[in-house]
Structure 1
Amino acid sequence: MQITTQRVAVSALFFANGLMIGSWAPKLAVLIRRLGITEGTAGLVVLCLGLGSLVVMPVFGAMTARVGSRRAVWMASLLATPTLLLMTAAPGLVWVALAVFLFGGFLGGMDIAMNANAVVVERVQRRAIMSSCHGFWSLGGGVGAGLGGMILAAWGEAGHAVLVTLLFLAVLALALPRLQQDAPATDADKAPIKLPGTPLPYVLGVVALCCMVPEGAILDWGAVYLQRELGASLSLAGWGFAACAATMAVVRFLGDMLRNRFGAVSMMRFSALTGIAGLGVSGIAADPIVVILGFGLAGIGIANLMPIVVSAAGNLPGLAHGVGLSVVTMMGYSGILLAPGSIGFLAERHSFATIYLGLAFLLLIPLLFSRLVRSAGFEMSEADNCGEQAAASSLRDVA
C-alpha cells in the first residue's frame, strides 16, 4: 500500500484536531472549579462548543467550495490555534463561553476542510483513506483526554494549554505545507454559495445523524446504564465506552483496506448490521460483561459508518464537495449534541435497555439507504456514475 506525503499530512491534521478536542475533556472539570459554576451552568458552556461548530462549519464548507480545501484548512487551523489559550486566560464565565464557542467553531471548520482534503487525496490516489484518517482523530482524542489530566495535575491549567498549543502548532508546521493541493470548481467563484437544491445531501445527513447518535449514547449513558440497571461497579461501568472506543479505533485503521477490497456499499451494510447486532446484545443482556462486549461489537459496526458517509458526501455528482460535506457533517455531528439530552429525557420514562434496542433499529436507516454511498467507492464504472446521478434525480423528483 502506497503511503504518500499528502496522505500523511492530512492524517496528521486529523490527529491534531482530535488532540485539541480530547484536551477539552479534562479541561471542563478545571473550568467548573475555577469559575465556581454548577454542572447545569457547565452544561450551557458545553452547549457553546456545539453551537460554535454548527455556526462555523457551513462557513468553512462554503470557503472550501470557493478556494479549495487546502486554503480552508490553513485558515481554520491557524484560527483554532490560540483558542485553548484564550479559554485559559478568559477572566469570567461570559468570556470563557465565548472562547469555548470559538474553540468549537474553528475546530469544527477545520474538521470540514480536512475531511474535504482527505476526499481530494482519495480522488487522486483512487483509494479509500477516510477511515484511517478518522482513526487518527480517535487516536489524537485519546492522547488529548488521557494525558490531559496528568498534565493539568502536574503543570496546572496554563501549562496544559501552552503544551497542547505547542504540540498542535508543531503538527501544523509539519503538515500544512505538505497538504494535497486542490482547486475549487471552475464556476465556484462566480456562483453564490448556497444550500444544495437536491435532497441527496440532506438524506445523507439524516443517515449520518443515525450513525452518530448511537456513539453519543454509549459515550454519555453507557456507564449509567451499567450501574443503574445492571448493578455494575463504577470501575467496571467505565469499560462500556472504553470497549466501544477501542474497537472503533482498531477497525477504523482497517476500514480503508476493507472498503478498497469490498466496496463502500458492502462495507456500509456490514457495518450497519454489526452495529445493530452489538446494540441488540447490549439491550437484551442481563450481565454487565455481556453488555460491555455488546458495546465493543457495536463499536466495530459504528466505526466506519460516518467515514463512508463523509466520503460519499464529498463525491456527490454535480455538487461542490465542501458544500455537501458541510451539510452532511453538520447534520451528523448534531447527533452527538442531540443524544445526551434526548436520551436523558427518554430514560426518565423507559429503561436504558429499551433505549439501546431502539438505537439498534435506528441503524436500519443507514442499512436501508446504503446504496446512496456508492459515490464513496472507487470501483464505480461510468455506468455506475450515471446511476448515481439518476438516483439523485429521483430523490429530487420525490422532493
Structure 2
Amino acid sequence: MSPERQAARLGRWAVASMFFANGFVTGSWAPQVPLLLSRFDIAETIVGLLILIFGLGALVAMPTCGWLMSRYGSKSVLRGFGAVLGIVLPAVALAPNLYLVIPAIFALGGVVGGMDVAMNTNAVETERQLGRAIMSSSHGFWSLGGFAGSATGGLLIQGTGHVTQSIIVGAVAYLMVFAVWRWLIGAPVETSSTRRERFRFPRDPLIYLIGIIALFCMIPEGSVLEWGAVHLQRSLGADIGVAGFAFAGFAVTMAVMRFMGDGIRNRFGAVRTLRVSALIAAAGMLMAGLASTPLWAIAAFALAGIGVANMVPIAFSAAGNHQGIASATAVSVVTTMGYSGMLVAPSAIGFIGERVGFAVVFVALSGFLLAVSAMAGSVRRADFNANAG
C-alpha cells in the first residue's frame, strides 16, 4: 500500500472521530436545555428563543467557515474548531446569568455548526483520496456520538450535576479530537483549476439546487425531532413514554442505514440511491401522518429514518465534488441551506401544526421528499472516479 493510500485510510478514521466528537457534544447539550428553566427562572418561550440563538450561531458560523477554508484548508480549520469544542458546553453550564448564557449558547452553536462544515469538507477530500464513499458512515458516527451524548447526559447530570457533566463531555471531546489530530488529511482545498480561490458565493445555480435538496431532506428530520412526540400525544393519544419512541425509532434506523449507506451508494450510484431513499422517506412520512395508532406511527417514522439516512450525505458529497467551485465554498453553502431546515423550519411547522394538526403536517412533508426524488439527477457529481493511491 502506498504512503498516500495509508494516509488516506488513517484520515478516514480521523474525520470519523471528529464527527463522533461533534455529535457527542451536540447530544450532550440536549439534556442541559430543560435545566435552563430552573437555572434562570424563565418560561418555555424564552428557552425556545435560546434554542433559536443556538441555531443562529450555527448559521452565522457555517459560511464563515467556508471563507476560512478557502484560505487555510479544511485540515487547519477543522483543527481550529476542534481545539475549542471541549470548552463551549462548560461555558454554557458555568454561565451565572441570562446575559452571559446568551453569548455562550451562540458560541456553542457556532462551534458545532462551523466544525460541521469543516469536517464535511474534510470527508469529501478523504473520499477523493480513497476513491470511495465514506460520507454516509461519517454521518453515522455523528449519530452514534449524538446518541451517546444524549443517553449519558441525563444520568451524568442527575448523578454529578450539570457543570460536572459538561466538563466530562468536554474532556471526552478533547480525547476524541487530539487522539486523531495528526492523521487528518492535509490536502489543500482544490477547484477544477487545482488552485485555491477566495471565498465568494457561487454563481452556478446547480449548487443552490443541491442546497434545496439538502433543505428538503432536513426539514422532515428536524420536524420528527421537534414534533414527532407531540404528534403521537395530541393526534394519537399516546402517553409520554410511548411518544418518546417517535424520534427514537427514526434515529435508530437512520444511524444503522448510515453505516450501510456508503456500500449502497458505491454499488448503485448516488442518483439511484437518493431517488429510492427519498421515495422510502416520503412513504414513511405519509404513513406517519395517516397512522391511526401510536405503534403504526412509530413504525412509519422508523421507515422514514431508513430513507432520510443517506440523503444529506449524498447532497454534501455532490456539493464537495461539484466542478468549478471550491469544495469549501460549495459545502458551506449547501450545509447552511440544509441546516436552516433543521434549525429554523421546525418553529414554523409548530405554528402550522397548532392550527391544522400535525397529521396534516407530516402528510405535507412527504411532498418535500417526493420533490427530492424528482431532483435526484442533480447529485450525480457525488459519484466520482478514483484517482488516488
Shorter-chain TM-score: which interval? over 0.9
Picking from 292, 302, 312, the partner of 2:308 is 302
Distance 2:194 2:76 in 1: 14
Secondary structure of the residue aligned to 1:183 is coil
Residue aligning to 1:184: 189
Equivalent residues in 2 for 1:70-85 (5 A)?
A: 70-85=75-90
TM-superposed deviation, 1:198: 1.2
- Partner letter of residue 338 of structure 1? V
- Aligned pair 1:4/2:30, yes or no? no
Picking from 76, 86, 91, the partner of 2:91 is 86
- Partner letter of residue 158 of structure 2? A
Residue aligning to 1:19: 24
- Aligned pair 1:198/2:204, yes or no? yes
Distance 1:191 1:273 in 2: 38
Distance 1:294 1:83 in 2: 36
Q: Check whether the contact 1:66–1:185 (CA below 8 A) recurs between aligned residues.
A: no
- Partner letter of residue 77 of structure 2? A
Residue aligning to 1:172: 177
TM-superposed deviation, 1:339: 2.9
Q: What is the TM-score with the length of structure 1 in the denominator? A: 0.92
Q: Check whether the contact 2:190–2:196 (CA below 8 A) recurs between aligned residues.
A: no
| RMSD of aligned alpha carbons | 1.8
Residue aligning to 1:230: 236
Q: What is the TM-score with the length of structure 2 in the denominator? A: 0.94
Question: How many residues in Structure 1 have an aligned counterpart in Structure 2?
Answer: 380
Distance 2:378 2:38 in 1: 47
Seen in structure 2, the aligned counterparts of structure 1 residues 380 and 276 have a Cα distance that, compared at 3 Å, is farther
- Aligned pair 1:32/2:37, yes or no? yes
Distance 1:99 1:34 in 2: 15
Q: Check whether the contact 1:77–1:107 (CA below 8 A) recurs between aligned residues.
A: no
Percent sequence identity is: 45
Secondary structure of the residue aligned to 2:190 is coil
Moved more, 337-346 or 52-61: 337-346
Q: Check whether the contact 1:275–1:297 (CA below 8 A) recurs between aligned residues.
A: yes
Residue aligning to 1:366: 372
Residue aligning to 2:52: 47
Unaligned runs of 5+ in 2: 1-5
Q: Check whether the contact 1:260–1:378 (CA below 8 A) recurs between aligned residues.
A: no
Q: Check whether the contact 2:201–2:329 (CA below 8 A) recurs between aligned residues.
A: yes
Distance 1:185 1:119 in 2: 11
Q: Deviations over 1:93-118 (max 9, x none)?
A: 12101011011101111110010010
Structure 1 segments, 4+ long, off by >6 Å, are 186-190
Q: Check whether the contact 1:210–1:362 (CA below 8 A) recurs between aligned residues.
A: yes
Picking from 310, 313, 320, the partner of 1:314 is 320
Distance 2:233 2:326 in 1: 47
TM-superposed deviation, 1:380: 9.3
Q: Check whether the contact 2:271–2:376 (CA below 8 A) recurs between aligned residues.
A: yes
Q: Check whether the contact 1:274–1:301 (CA below 8 A) recurs between aligned residues.
A: yes
Secondary structure of the residue aligned to 1:4 is helix
Seen in structure 2, the aligned counterparts of structure 1 residues 104 and 34 have a Cα distance that, compared at 3 Å, is same
Q: Deviations over 1:114-139 (max 9, x none)?
A: 10010011001110000000000000
Q: Check whether the contact 1:84–1:103 (CA below 8 A) recurs between aligned residues.
A: yes
Picking from 100, 107, 121, the partner of 2:126 is 121
Q: Deviations over 1:182-229 (max 9, x none)?
A: 113388987542111111121111111100011111111111111111
Moved more, 357-366 or 183-192: 183-192
Secondary structure of the residue aligned to 1:316 is coil
Q: Check whether the contact 2:319–2:334 (CA below 8 A) recurs between aligned residues.
A: yes
Distance 2:288 2:318 in 1: 30
Picking from 271, 275, 278, the partner of 2:281 is 275
Picking from 377, 380, 383, the partner of 2:383 is 377
Q: Check whether the contact 1:204–1:372 (CA below 8 A) recurs between aligned residues.
A: yes
Distance 1:292 1:213 in 2: 18
Distance 1:353 1:314 in 2: 36
- Partner letter of residue 113 of structure 2? G
Q: Check whether the contact 1:116–1:322 (CA below 8 A) recurs between aligned residues.
A: yes
TM-superposed deviation, 1:379: 5.6
Secondary structure of the residue aligned to 1:15 is helix
Unaligned runs of 5+ in 1: 382-399
